[in-house]
């Protein structure tokens, strides 16, 4: 708007002055001068000269859940575990710039930053059967959204190729006996450009315990005449009063049957 008004005003002033310069009339010179000043005013008002905008820029990262000397969990059956970060690559920064083009109104330059990282997370003592569901910050995510490798924690598993590519071949432990996962090149933009808190559903066969090594049990009656009876025995002690001799649990059978089931 200022360009139109000032160019018209400059032409009017030039016409009133009259004359010419190098063959160019004063009206034309006035219009050009007014248009130049008007463009500067429009550009200032409509956004030219606006400072560049940066979004998602992170100056410092912090890995949560990584602590030296943390115990290794033992899982029996199925459990949800958080794990410990045992390795992480450097954060890779990517930037995308938009705006800043010519035109009226001009747009400020906007630079958006995104980050990715590779991490290894120890889960529990191995070996495990598999890793089921995965949660990030308490929200379940799909395995297909991650470049995920699972190491079950066997005694012959090999080092991860991504860790070897970063640290060097021959300088990476295989973490044998420890079940862990490697998440490669994880995009952090969906997590606010930070590493989320992961938890994993782990399935593992229970290890042998004392009950697996018991070959026989000597059942010697010593708690009553009906201790080994498999049918309930009750005594009537009076009108409406009965006493059980061998049923003292909520199992639904005799004490002997309940003990065998628990054994």
Residues 6+ apart with CB under 8 A from 202: 75, 78, 79, 80, 81, 123, 124, 128, 131, 132, 179
Residue that has been written with the tokens 């998440």 in this structure:
183
Q: Which of 57-66, 213-222, 227-236, 242-251 shows the lowest mean pLDDT across its residues?
A: 57-66
Residue that has been written with the tokens 């930053």 in this structure:
113
Residues 6+ apart with CB under 8 A from 116: 91, 92, 94, 185, 186, 187, 188
pLDDT, one tens digit per residue, over 193-209 is 888 899 999 998 866 66
Q: Which two tokens stand for residue 22?
A: 């190098």
Q: Which of 56-65, 154-163, 175-184 shows the lowest mean pLDDT across its residues?
A: 56-65
- CA nearest to 48, candidates 101, 96, 12, 120: 101
Q: pTM to 2 decimals? A: 0.57
pLDDT surpasses 70 at 64: no
pLDDT of residue 110: 80
Q: Can you name the residues that pair with 2 across neighbouring β-strands?
A: none
Residues 6+ apart with CB under 8 A from 170: none
pLDDT, one tens digit per residue, over 8-51 is 665 566 566 666 555 555 555 566 666 676 666 666 665 555 55
Q: Could you count the other beta carbons within 10 Å of the beta carbon of residue 242?
A: 9
Q: Which residue has the higher pLDDT, 210 or 256?
A: 256
Mapping DSSP onto H, E and C, the string for 3-34 reads HHHHHHHHHHHHHHHCCEECCEEHHHHHHHHH
Q: Could you count the other beta carbons within 10 Å of the beta carbon of residue 251?
A: 13
pLDDT of residue 21: 57
pLDDT of residue 97: 80
pLDDT of residue 215: 78
pLDDT, one tens digit per residue, over 112-163 is 888 899 999 999 998 999 999 999 999 998 888 899 999 999 999 999 999 9
Q: How large is the average pLDDT for residues 238-253?
A: 82
Extended strands (E) in 69-109: 77-81, 84-88, 92-98
Residue that has been written with the tokens 């000597």 in this structure:
218
pLDDT of residue 94: 83
Q: Which residue has the higher pLDDT, 56 or 237?
A: 237
Q: How large is the average pLDDT for residues 222-243?
A: 84
pLDDT, one tens digit per residue, over 72-113 is 889 988 999 998 999 999 888 888 887 665 555 556 778 888
Indicate the average pLDDT of the chain. Answer: 79
pLDDT surpasses 60 at 180: yes
Residue 78's Cα: distance from chain center in Å?
Answer: 21
pLDDT surpasses 60 at 3: no
C-alpha 56/C-alpha 21 separation (Å) is 55
C-alpha 16/C-alpha 29 separation (Å) is 12
Q: Which of 64-73, 144-153, 158-167, 172-181 shows the lowest mean pLDDT across its residues?
A: 64-73
pLDDT of residue 81: 94
pLDDT of residue 117: 92
């Amino acid at each position: 708007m200022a360009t139109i008004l000032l160019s018209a005003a400059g032409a009017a002033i030039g016409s009133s002055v009259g004359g010419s310069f190098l063959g160019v009339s004063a009206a034309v010179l006035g219009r050009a001068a007014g248009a130049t000043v008007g463009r500067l005013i429009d550009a200032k008002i409509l956004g030219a000269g606006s400072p560049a905008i940066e979004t998602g820029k992170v100056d410092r990262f912090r890995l949560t859940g990584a602590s030296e000397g943390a115990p290794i969990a033992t899982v029996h059956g199925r459990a949800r575990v958080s794990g410990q970060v045992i390795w992480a690559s450097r954060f890779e920064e990517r930037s995308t710039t938009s705006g800043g083009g010519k035109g009226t109104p001009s747009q400020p330059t906007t630079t958006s930053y995104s980050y990715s990282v590779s991490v290894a997370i120890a889960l529990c003592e191995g070996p495990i059967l598999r890793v089921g569901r995965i949660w990030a910050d308490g929200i379940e995510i799909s395995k297909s959204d991650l470049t995920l490798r699972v190491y079950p924690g066997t005694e012959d598993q090999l080092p991860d190729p991504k860790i070897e590519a970063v640290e060097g071949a021959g300088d990476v432990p295989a973490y044998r006996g420890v079940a862990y996962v490697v998440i490669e090149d994880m995009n952090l933009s969906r997590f606010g450009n930070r590493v989320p808190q992961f938890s994993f559903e782990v399935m593992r066969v229970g290890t042998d315990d004392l009950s697996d090594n018991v070959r026989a049990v000597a059942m010697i009656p010593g708690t009553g005449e009906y201790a080994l009876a498999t049918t309930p025995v009750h005594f009537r002690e009076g009108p409406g009063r009965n006493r059980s001799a061998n049923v003292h649990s909520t199992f639904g059978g005799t004490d002997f049957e309940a003990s065998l089931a628990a054994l």
